[in-house]
Amino acid sequence: LLLVLVRQNGTTTWVQQRPPQGDARTQEYALCRMLYTMLCGVTGIRPPWGMMTGVRPVRIIHDLRAEGKTEEEIEQRFLQHFDCTPRRFAMAKSIADLQRPVLERAQPMDCSVYAGIPFCPSRCSYCSFVSRTVGDKSSRALVAPYVDCLCKELAATRAAADAAHLSIKTLYIGGGTPTSVNAQQLRQLMGTMAEQFDLPALEEFTVEAGRPDCTDEEKLRIIKEYGATRISINPQTFSDEVLRNIGRRHTAQDILDCYR
């Protein structure tokens, strides 16, 4: 029996149903659907992305296309299976369409190199990424040895890619928050990337520079000086209330001011 109980203000509401025929995934979906429907009713909120979880809805469109699903079937999956709103589906689809030619151009030996900086100025409440808050002296002391090791690993990665005859097409420095390192450490990292990889041969070189509480003009200049072709500004939201509630120590206006 599938059973969902919700207790709110001392009142318990519950629904139950027999498990549907099918594999574990079918049964998991049935349980999620029961919980979602019940929580929508109890809270009066219907989330724009419906039952979807995770951070890459666009990926689902690519995967379904690769499975041979029609555009109509994909739309139905979003609207009916996930209860996503038509507006959000249209947004995800437009991004998937934009990415499609890039994916179709990719060759079997193409690869991308990702360098992760697992530090952030503060921890967002929803975050599931590997990241350590840096602020006091002891946490800051972790950054320099980490950047030293990362630079060595990037050199080894380049050698391994060459030995395997891989063609490096894109570089990405993400996190965490890459700009949480200081300007000197950022210069060391970017300098190593520029030295180790054939930048003119790349299709894209991205650095995440999305938190205005640790991004400044000097760091943006270093990113540009060492050949990055794109920065990813990921403020998450322009609602000050949400920024406050998730633990971001900046406002929406700070985001705009940072990149002026």
Nearer to ligand SF4, 177 or 196 (CB): 177
* Helix, coil or strand: residue 17: strand
205 strand-pairing partners: 171
Query: Which among 231, 166, 233 is positioned nearest to 197, based on CA atoms?
Result: 166
Q: Build a one-symbol-per-residue string for 112-151: x at contacts with ligand SF4 by CB under 6 A, - elsewhere.
A: --------x--xx--x-x-x--------------------
Region binding ligand SF4 by CB under 6 A among candidate stretches 67-75, 101-109, 135-143, 174-182? 174-182
Q: Which of 50, 175, 178, 212 binds ligand SF4 (CB under 6 A)?
A: 175
Nearer to ligand SF4, 116 or 227 (CB): 116
Check residue 177 for interaction with ligand SF4 (CB under 6 A): yes
CB atoms within 10 A of CB 31: 16
CB of 117 to ligand SF4, least distance (A): 9
Nearer to ligand SF4, 62 or 123 (CB): 123
* Helix, coil or strand: residue 169: strand
CB of 246 to ligand SF4, least distance (A): 8
Pairing of the two strands 2-8 and 11-17: antiparallel
Collect all residues with Cβ–Cβ distance below 8 Å to 125 and sequence separation of at least 6. 245, 246, 247
Tell me how far apart the alpha carbons of residues 105 and 101 are, in angstroms, rounded to a whole number. Answer: 6
Q: Which of 50, 57, 176, 178 binds ligand SF4 (CB under 6 A)?
A: 176
Tell me how far apart the alpha carbons of residues 189 and 51 are, in angstroms, rounded to a whole number. Answer: 39
The site for ligand SF4 (CB under 6 A) is made up of: 120, 123-124, 127, 129, 131, 175-177, 211
